[in-house]
Amino acid sequence: MNVDSHQHFWHYDPADHPWMAAEANAPLRRDYGPADLLPLIEAADIQWTVAVQASQTLKETEMLLELSDQHDFIRGVVGWVDLQSPTVREQLSQYVLRRRFVGVRHIVHDEPDERFMLRPDFLRGLSALAEFDLTYDLLLRPQHLPAAVEVVRQFPQQRFVVDHIAKPLIKEGVLAPWEAGLRELARFDNVHCKVSGMVTEAAWRAWKPADFKPYLDVVFDCFGAGRLMFGSDWPVCTLAAEYGETASLVRDYVRPMGPAIEAAVMGGNATEFYGLA
């Protein structure tokens, strides 16, 4: 199966989605659901998706799980739970009863504290995930990579995946310090990476495929094809590209590597990492 490892659905609410307040994000301020996405994945030859949280609310986690019950193509849900809560294990014990709850994410890159993940309460919550066989999505910018390295070092049994290749400054054509930080993080073999979210870090609607090659070269060199997975970041990607363009950027890069690697990056790795089958 070809898998989009990173897409979103939401019922737009300004209180729940403060990151959409910027005027540039105005096109996103509406509801997005499965009926909007299904024709796009069919056209791009994507069969399964992983729906990822976009707000720090349990109600959105519930909504995503309900959608996954109703639509078979939504094979996994990465939701939000309050990892800093003293009752986090009780929360997780309920969610793992839902067949498509596969992991947890926190919108770390919007926290004012760059070392937010190293707070004792947050680390305590992270320590619970492996007990329930749940993954954790690392949503980072380059400045968060040193803290992420410290976190990952403490949890060698936890499965981590970096979202959006840690958001390098593609528009500016800058590799440092992102490259050094990502290479350090990739040294831990329990860390995977989503080849996603690149187009919104580039010049919106003015990017060229060649703009991404230096970043893809780094990602494939330090993670290897066995720990990488395609993700669209739809509908956020629509600010800068059409859905099919996001898939083509990754497909066109991996196709010369042969069908086995293409199949792994475009679906097999995500299926194994999240346990979608």
pLDDT digits (tens, 9 = 90+) for 46-95: 999 999 999 999 999 999 999 999 999 999 999 999 999 999 999 999 99
What gap in Å lies between CA 246 and CA 277, rounded to an integer? 24
Quick one: pLDDT at residue 120? 97
For range 17-32, the mean pLDDT: 94
Q: What is the pTM of this model?
A: 0.97
pLDDT digits (tens, 9 = 90+) for 238-251: 999 999 999 999 99
For range 203-220, the mean pLDDT: 97
List, in order, residues 6 or more apart from 197 with CB less than 8 Å away: 6, 163, 164, 165, 167, 231, 233, 236, 237
Quick one: pLDDT at residue 63? 98
What gap in Å lies between CA 273 and CA 271, rounded to an integer? 6
110 pLDDT more than 90: no
112 pLDDT more than 90: no
SS3 content of the chain, % helix, strand, coil (to 5): 50, 15, 35
pLDDT digits (tens, 9 = 90+) for 119-138: 999 999 999 999 999 999 99
What gap in Å lies between CA 232 and CA 225, rounded to an integer? 17
Using DSSP, state whether 32 is helix, strand or coil. Answer: strand
pLDDT digits (tens, 9 = 90+) for 146-201: 999 999 999 999 999 999 999 999 999 999 999 999 999 999 999 999 999 999 99
What gap in Å lies between CA 64 and CA 75, rounded to an integer? 11
Nearest alpha-carbon partner for 197 in 177, 221, 171:
171
Domains and CATH numbers, the chain: 3-274 (3.20.20.140)
Tell me if 48 sits within 8 A of 271, measured CB to CB: yes
Secondary structure (H, E, C), 66-121: HHHHHCCCEEEEEECCCCCCCCHHHHHHHHCCCCCEEEEECCHHHCCCCCHHHCHH
Quick one: pLDDT at residue 136? 98
**What percent of the chain shows pLDDT beyond 70?**
100
One DSSP character per residue, 207-260 reads: --GGGGHHHHHHHHHHH-GGGEEE---BTGGGGTS-HHHHHHHHHHHHGGG-HH
277 pLDDT more than 90: no
For range 139-146, the mean pLDDT: 96
